[in-house]
A and B are shown apart, each in its own frame.
Chain A
């Protein structure tokens, strides 16, 4: 062959010419602290979420009194040293109730995010890989998405009795279409990636392609989506409880504390104020965490697909 080099390199020489300045040492600060410094939104969001988890887990120790204990003599007290957030119309300590409410909110948020992600991932993978299933599943999801999630959740709650488990189930069902669409979209674009073609050409079987090449690359956008679902599930839970279709009144949740305080809003605003602040901070924290993760994991991934 003219013009081409024919002799193989001598045995000792096995480094490409452009490898001279190969791989300079990574300058950015390594370790966990460095990661947090580079991603302040994750640091702030993560801190607030952890704080809320702490509050929820240790609510019985942090609370002053039983959140369900009635004290008719101490109704609608203003916030004070004894009752930090005041008391409601039945004399229950709002501070204790708000702390215990964090348990419901976080349980619902995390459970919905987890369940919707797992089920949505499975559905998305199936419809991304099987054309026939895709056209059926996606039309069904389109139908579900045409109903507002809240309305769907209310309708589902109307079919059962109020309990935290049923709230999780109802919101999960309402959130699944969003996850499965995202996963399907990601799977369809990953299937076209040259490295998937190369894997097929080098004899990898389809189950291994999914496990090794598709799934790991789906997890980053899915994690981001899961945080948004967590935040929106907490809001949906609060709405359901507020209108009396969610958590039963016996269990304090931010939604039903606000619902009970609604009648007294103009004279005793603090009953609504404190659970609302906690809900806002938690949702904000989870969203910040999601934004931070999105930027850290894949800057190109859109917030919603």
Chain B
């Protein structure tokens, strides 16, 4: 693998909490607190985690929808994290986004034609009016919508059709990377499958890389190459799909996987029920952020924050996890070996 398409290094986004009469800052929400990963050309990386762990904030931060607190983001060789807006604007073409809600992600007062033409015009991609027309038709074909639907208003479409329009808009700029922020979560199951297949087809057709932000592990297992698991603003584990689903190396991932229903009657699985709620990102726990809910936590976890390091006994290479358990001898490590394999068999059974 040569130079990755997107490199994220120690990304941080802290939201100030304003309170009081003069609006002084009384604290910060540590929504994203030191996240690093990279995505190769044509690769799908899934970012999973429960609600409020900061996965959507990562997506929005990469798109520079707000200024970053710290960290480096390198997209196709250009550092975009501290780039002024004017310089960044032409580079935005390379990275586009598909949002979760197909209803609020399309401007209700613009026709489909104008929605799709906006990025093409902004990035000056069309040579003339005829070229623009050809591109618009091409986009409608790519997302399998009838060409004559282009003059309609968004409210005339169903949720799945609107999501196709959203995907077409993301493709309009001819991006290298698409960030899918829960792009299929709001759709019902049959439509969800169609959109997932469409995304996969497009990825093969156009060689797109994808950052697939989701909490739906079944979908993630179906379409991703690698998975990054996030907990409370940090990435706790990154691994190739098979390795992660087969033998998770972080207690949080293990618990997360155990919550996926088994699509087989009578098949039971040992559920790991986590105690308590996610701690507040305003005041995250010291040490390992997961130690308050971790069934295996020991003294070291409460004081020392574990770093993401390669795991020796993973199923596949490139498996990294942030957990002190892996420093213990195999006998004292509940996550050693392929123990988690029994948790698998999601969808592929």
Contact = CB atoms under 8 A, between A and B. Distances in A.
B340 to A, nearest CB: 20
Interface string B107-128: 1111000000011001100000
B122 A204 contact: yes
Interface stretch (B6-14, B158-166, B279-287): B158-166
A203 B146 contact: no
Contacts of B65: 197, 200-201
A4 B223 contact: yes
A22 interface: yes
A202 B144 contact: no
A195 B92 CA distance: 15
A75 interface: no
B63 A201 contact: yes
Contact of A1 (B96, B100, B141, B223): B223
Interface in B155-184: 156-158, 160-161, 164, 166, 169-170, 172-173
Contacts of A195: 104-107
A15 B109 contact: no
Nearest to B120: A202
Interface stretch (A33-41, A106-114, A210-218, A224-232): A210-218
B118 A22 contact: no
B348 interface: yes
A12 to B, nearest CB: 10
B201 A5 contact: yes
A198 B161 contact: no
Contact of B122 (A4, A22, A203, A216): A203
Interface residues of A, number: 33
Given A18-B161, A202-B169, A194 B104 contact: yes
A201 B109 contact: no
Interface string A107-137: 0000000000000000000000000000100
Given A16-B194, A201-B92, A202-B172, A9 B152 contact: no
A203 B107 CA distance: 16
Given A1-B225, A16-B144, A194 B123 contact: no
Contacts of A8: 201, 204-205
B169 A23 contact: no
A142 B71 CA distance: 40
Contacts of A194: 99-101, 104-105
A5 B197 contact: yes
Interface string B129-153: 0000000000011011111010010
B199 to A, nearest CB: 9
Contacts of B161: 16, 18-19, 22
Interface in B20-63: 23, 60, 63
B152 A23 contact: yes
15 contacts: A1-B223, A3-B347, A9-B144, A13-B144, A14-B144, A14-B145, A18-B190, A18-B191, A194-B99, A197-B60, A197-B65, A198-B97, A198-B166, A201-B96, A203-B122
Interface of A: 1, 3-6, 8-9, 13-19, 22-23, 135, 193-195, 197-205, 212-213, 216-217
Given A1-B225, A201-B65, A202-B119, 16 more contacts: A3-B347, A3-B348, A4-B204, A5-B201, A8-B201, A9-B144, A14-B144, A16-B164, A18-B161, A23-B152, A194-B101, A195-B107, A199-B118, A202-B92, A204-B122, A217-B108
